[in-house]
Amino acid sequence: MGPDGGTARHDAAESQAEESQDARGEHAGAARSLLAMAAAVGVLWVGLYVGMSAFMAVLFGAFVGLVGIVIVMVLVVVVLATIIKAATGRRRVGAAIAVTLFAGVAQAVALAHFGQIPMMWVQPGLDLVYPVIAVFGALALGLFLGPWRVRVAGAVAALSIVVVAVSVFKSEPVGFDPSNGSSPKEELARFTMLNSGTLVADAPGFEVVRVRRSGAYTAWEKTPGGGVVQISYDVRPPDEDVASVYPCWTLRYGQMGLKSTDAIEDFADWCVPDDEGWARTDGTGFTRLRDGEYVTVKSADDVNVRFAGAPRTANPADVALALATLRPITEDEMRIGFEASNPVVPEN
């Protein structure tokens, strides 16, 4: 065999060695990127949770919460950039900023459309949002890292969130579908039976805007002054181990992160016993026993205020008036609640 044959074998061996080295380098790069993405899940999860706490502070009038949100976002960017540099050797601040904004926007979409995104209303509710968004945000980080397989995974994750967000914003209310075999009259009868225990306020100018059975019979009413009051009638007795805190738990403000299993001390700052039951210290909510079952009248949260198209929630005077005038819901009011849940209602 001549020298040309030996040279060819040598070149082939060198080429194979280079390919093997490139493959090892690609695998190592992918491993480093995956490590950075795994760490990013925890960073984003914590950031989303703390950011939500700051947002709740804003809702309660503590505008220092806005500063808190900015600080949280800056810290998340710094930590992500540090993790990326440690894993890949490059800081990639732009990638950290993009992923932080990506996660923040995703959470804003979820909050703005509470009840339309499945992960928002299945248990454990809001708590489930943090890890879901954190995982997708971390996957989206791969779009900026590489190698190409990691970039593809990142692109798919980012596209998935965008598609969900667009579909939610463009979603239309679902009306009656004749193909389901039920007539509007039958649907109304079913709705009426399901919500038959609902209580409302028999006060001048109060208007039912929504009726819903989710454990407790619940109605939301708009007051003459534009406030929204929530009235819940819970016929289910609480478990013995949570009975002492249950009345205050029903009075909680929006998404406070409290659970019915928390200690009574966690509620003591804003929920106190009064002569007839339990009350919020600011006068915007009361829980009473009615034939051994709990009735809660309180100011509605921001989500239901927006649903009602109202400018504000109920004030103490609205809540007190509603509490003093409770009665069973009428057929006409039930139909209003039904139409609010099913915006497209053909005539009978």
Q: pLDDT tens-digit profile of 289-334?
A: 888 889 999 999 888 888 888 999 999 999 999 999 999 999 999 9
Does residue 215 come out as left (phi exceeding 0), alpha (psi in the -120 to 50 range) or beta? left
Phi, psi of 309 (to 5 degrees): 65, 30
| Of 20 and 321, the one with more pLDDT | 321
Phi, psi of 300 (to 5 degrees): -75, 155
Scan for tokens 């990127």, then name that residue: 33
Strands 285-290 and 277-280: antiparallel
108-164: pLDDT as tens digits: 777 765 544 444 444 444 567 788 888 888 888 877 776 667 777 777 877 776 676
- Residue 72 to residue 52: CA distance in whole angstroms: 10
DSSP helix, strand, coil percent of the chain (3-state; round to 5): 55, 15, 30
Q: Quick check: 341 and 326 in contact, CB under 8 A?
A: no
Confidence category of residue 276, pLDDT binned at 50, 70, 90: confident
Question: Rounded to whole angstroms, what are the CA distances from 55 to 87, 103, 294, 314, 330?
Answer: 32, 15, 30, 21, 38
Q: Quick check: 142 and 33 in contact, CB under 8 A?
A: yes
Range of lowest pLDDT (42-46, 256-260, 295-299): 256-260
pLDDT surpassing 50 at residue 345: no
Half-sphere exposure of 220 (CA within 13 A, CB side): 25
171-181: pLDDT as tens digits: 444 444 445 55
Does residue 38 come out as left (phi exceeding 0), alpha (psi in the -120 to 50 range) or beta? alpha
Closest by CA position to 338, among listed 235, 248, 208, 234: 208
Q: Quick check: 348 and 316 in contact, CB under 8 A?
A: no
pTM over 0.85: no
pLDDT surpassing 60 at residue 210: yes
Query: Which ranges constitute the DSSP H helices of 176-279?
Result: 184-194, 246-250
Q: Is 149 helix (H, G, I), strand (E, B) or coil?
A: helix
- Residue 251 to residue 297: CA distance in whole angstroms: 8
- Residue 161 to residue 150: CA distance in whole angstroms: 17
Half-sphere exposure of 290 (CA within 13 A, CB side): 20
Q: Quick check: 239 and 261 in contact, CB under 8 A?
A: no
Range of lowest pLDDT (61-70, 135-144, 256-265, 289-298): 256-265
Give, rounded to a whole angstrom, the gap between the first and last alpha carbons of the chain.
Answer: 96
- Residue 165 to residue 201: CA distance in whole angstroms: 37
User: Which helix or strand (DSSP H or E) is residue 201 part of?
Assistant: strand 199-201
Give the pLDDT of residue 176: 45
Residue 2 DSSP one-character state:
-
